[in-house]
Chains A and B, each alone.
Chain A
Amino acid sequence: MAKNRINPNKAFMSRSKVQFTEDQFIDGLRTGNNEVLSALYKKYYNIVLKFIVNNSGTQEAAQDIYQETIIVLYENVQKPGFELNCQLQTYIFSIAKRLWLKQLKKSSKTFLFKEDGENELVDVSEEITEHLNKEVELEKLTQSLTELGEPCATLIKDFYVQKLSMDEIAEKFGYTNADNAKNQKYKCLQRLKKCFFEILPVEQIERK
């Protein structure tokens, strides 16, 4: 394992030439190494771009799908038991393909799909399902925060994400003291919960 570790100096000094191994990519992604992330991003972009523009997508769509793919990869790599059982390229391509097909189908137009034998595929159903469920949840959260409005949304984020103290929040938002800020936060959180945990009907939407 040690020999696979990235030497940060080396990576920095020969920025454009440095070649990472797949283990180094995974390791760097896991630890949040920006140099590695950047190299990885550049390395596989063209494969996904080519696939998407050849399958009725635009370059903008390719960029979005590719970034979503890297997010899926990144979030899976963070998992304790993550192990890659195929080439990184195969994994990335498989995720990108599934995400793009999903999007094409959502647009509900008849679309062309060129099956290419060039790129190998692996089963990434679990990753995709998990990702899409998470997307629904995060989308709902974004909506709920918008509905909540200001200053509530920022106040909630400041407290729960930025971990500001009640004193700091009182100061920032102009409440007379920490207790008042806390009361305000309580009210905001109750409202947010009401939006976020609203019951969703579970009908099956086949097409528009």
Chain B
Amino acid sequence: MRPIDLFENYLDGKLSAEEIVAFETQLRSDAIFANAFEQHKTLIDALNKSEKRNAFKNKLKAIHTQAFGNDAKIVSIKEETNAKRYFKGFAYAASVAVIAVLSTVAVLSTGGYLLKQQSNQITNLMREMIDLKASSEAVSEAIVEGITKGNQKAVYAPANLEGSAFALNNKGYIITSSHMVNGADSVFVQNGSLERTLTEVVLIDAKLDIAILKIVNKDVSKSWEVPFSFSEKPTDIGEKVYTLGYPRKDMVYGEGSLSSLSGYFNDTAMYQISIPVNPGNSGGPLLNDQGNVIGVIRGKITGAEATGFAVKSNEIFKSISALPVDSTRNDLMNKPKKQTLKGLKRTEQIKRINPYVFNVLVYKKD
């Protein structure tokens, strides 16, 4: 019997008592089987939800036409025109003000992305224009927040994409996901202990979804002592793992366990993990209990909130070793040897890893 038939018979109550026991035992002992069953349920559930919602939508449309039909249009066109007129007038006034402010800022700034502080007046103006409370999006927040902070604080234009990354070794090399930096115009990294700094992309492996960056300013990595190493031994299912990343401005910790030694459709280059990964987690390190890096967070699948995928760390080194032999390759093959995290409490490990996990900011030209 194919697994799908088994799933369906189980869900339809067509299995015998004995078969049910066998089925449930397999669910508990076989992570791949359990995962396939979860996905089957998710998909069938989504199919039914979707149909139900479409039927309800059509009902609402019918009610709308019946209730408001054409009458509504006549009433609201007037309202709309008034609103538009008002909007245009105010928008024009506001945009003149903003252009004035921004051009002053641009003149004062030293780089393309750098905006400097002006005055509190700007803050007030921006507050009128944008609903701050409801708007958590970086565009408005970054500008307004920066402006209200002290005089020296630099303000940057929001990145097109943000994600996570972590140090590969003491030479200023950093690992992230290739889908982050593909087609990027410039890539910066920053964290609590490192001011935003420019990097260059030295390797992209789109198949593995891995990219390696190098910090351009050599001084930055002078004092680096990367505290973690890369695991060479295979990891076991069920092992406790955790990740650190930047789904928002501050670093966020996520923990769970290793659910499978392969990714979806048996991709052996990946692990499946039971850590909910969010936008921005891509490119973050996956660490085991001893504080060894075992993978790089890659993504998740639709409909399964607490399922993530990570590229295995040994795959990264396979990819690096395929590079032509030169100094960059030698640098990249140079794994951090000192592992100073073993036996430490998780909180202590994180403190030490902290400076070596970065927020990646990617700018793309439209």
Residues of A at under 8 Å CB distance from B? 34, 37-38, 41-42, 45, 49-50, 53-56, 58-59, 62-63, 67, 70-71, 74-75, 97-98, 101, 105, 108, 110-113, 115, 133-134, 136-138, 140-142, 156-157, 160-161, 186, 189-190, 192-194, 196-208
Contacts and interface: CB of A to CB of B under 8 A. Distances in A.
Q: Which 3 A-B pairs have the closest CB atoms?
A: A113-B131, A204-B280, A204-B279
Interface-centre pick from A38, A157, A192, A204 (highest chain B CB count, 10 A): A204
Interface string B189-218: 000000000000000000001000000000
Interface in B19-68: 39-40, 43-44, 46-51, 53, 56-57, 59-61, 63-64, 66-68
Interface string B252-265: 00000000000111
A189 B4 contact: yes
A105 B279 contact: no
Given A204-B163, A207-B137, 7 more contacts: A41-B60, A42-B68, A101-B134, A101-B135, A157-B47, A199-B301, A205-B161
B32 to A, nearest CB: 13
B189 to A, nearest CB: 15
Contacts of B188: none
A206 B83 contact: no
B129 A141 contact: no
B309 interface: yes
B305 interface: yes
B229 to A, nearest CB: 26
A138 B303 CA distance: 9
B53 A138 contact: yes
Interface of B: 2, 4, 39-40, 43-44, 46-51, 53, 56-57, 59-61, 63-64, 66-68, 72-73, 76-77, 79-80, 83, 87, 90-91, 94-95, 98, 129-131, 134-135, 137-139, 158-163, 177, 179-180, 209, 247, 263-265, 277-282, 297-305, 309, 366
A12 to B, nearest CB: 15
